[in-house]
């Protein structure tokens, strides 16, 4: 009975004893992100995640409240990373709006390549039937949309607010869809995707008479 099960816990900083909360939380998040991204939310069990960390279930509940809470924490982390990546690109000052938008799109597509796991999480959990998660994701999109709208406004200041918003939403939607398309067609690079999308929308970036 008291087998003590000397199993492998794949955690990187795999200590065997008590860890301070902050450290444990990071460890749990790393494992949970992997499990959720691989199996999806529904097919992942809290027991399994706990076991992989080398911990028992009540600790997960102590730190994250619920299964949904744990997923939410993972999603929050991933969306933060995505946001950082794109806003960093948008901060490249001095260039014209056209170039700036190009850089943002490129940063977005590259995120999928360079942060495969967070991206898989955001992708597979994108429209999960959990209101809180969806809200968090919508918040990210809102930020992306706002950012895009501002870039557009610099190019086409004569457009009204509603149209700017519609353009921004359209571009975000196109991005998400193209990113998914790239999963099916691995030969398409982030640069390719950016070029295609720019080809579609750039005629609309220059003010019309």
Q: What is the DSSP string of 86-115?
A: HHHHHT-TTS-HHHHHHHHHHHHHHHHHHS
46 binds, among a copy of itself, DNA, none (CB under 5 to 8 A by kind): DNA
Shortest Cβ distance from residue 180 to a copy of itself (Å)? Answer: 8
Q: Measured from the CB atom, is 116 or 166 closer to a copy of itself?
A: 166
CB-CB contact of 205 with 98 (8 Å): yes
Distance CA 189, CA 49 (A): 34
Distance CA 117, CA 35 (A): 10
- Region 148-207 residues binding a copy of itself, contact defined as CB under 8 A: 162-163, 165-167, 169-178, 180-181, 188, 192-193, 196-197, 199-201, 203-204
CB-CB contact of 27 with 53 (8 Å): yes
Binding mask 56-95 for a copy of itself (x = CB under 8 A): ----------------------------------------
- Applying CB under 7 A, among 59, 97, 188, 198 the residue interacting with DNA is 59
Shortest Cβ distance from residue 71 to DNA (Å)? Answer: 10
Alpha-carbon distance values, 181 to 36, 187, 193 (Å): 22, 11, 9
Binding mask 110-129 for a copy of itself (x = CB under 8 A): -------------xxxxxxx
114 binds DNA (CB under 7 A): no
């Amino acid at each position: 009975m008291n087998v003590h099960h000397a199993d492998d816990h794949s955690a990187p900083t795999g200590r065997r004893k008590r860890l301070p909360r902050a450290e444990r939380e990071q460890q749990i998040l790393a494992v949970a992100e992997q499990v959720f991204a691989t199996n999806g939310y529904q097919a992942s069990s809290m027991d399994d995640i706990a076991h992989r960390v080398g911990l028992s279930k009540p600790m997960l509940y102590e730190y994250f409240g619920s299964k949904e809470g744990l997923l939410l924490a993972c999603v929050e982390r991933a969306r933060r990373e995505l946001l950082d990546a794109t806003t960093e690109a948008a901060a490249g000052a001095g260039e014209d709006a056209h170039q700036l938008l190009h850089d943002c799109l490129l940063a977005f597509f590259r995120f999928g390549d360079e942060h495969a796991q967070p991206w898989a999480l955001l992708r597979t959990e994108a429209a999960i039937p959990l209101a809180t998660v969806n809200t968090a994701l919508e918040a990210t999109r809102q930020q992306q949309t706002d950012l895009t709208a501002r870039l557009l406004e610099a190019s086409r200041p004569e457009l009204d607010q509603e149209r700017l918003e519609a353009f921004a939403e359209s571009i975000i939607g196109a991005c998400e869809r193209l990113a998914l398309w790239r999963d099916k067609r691995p030969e398409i690079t982030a640069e390719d995707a950016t070029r295609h999308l720019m080809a579609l929308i750039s005629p609309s970036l220059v003010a019309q008479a």
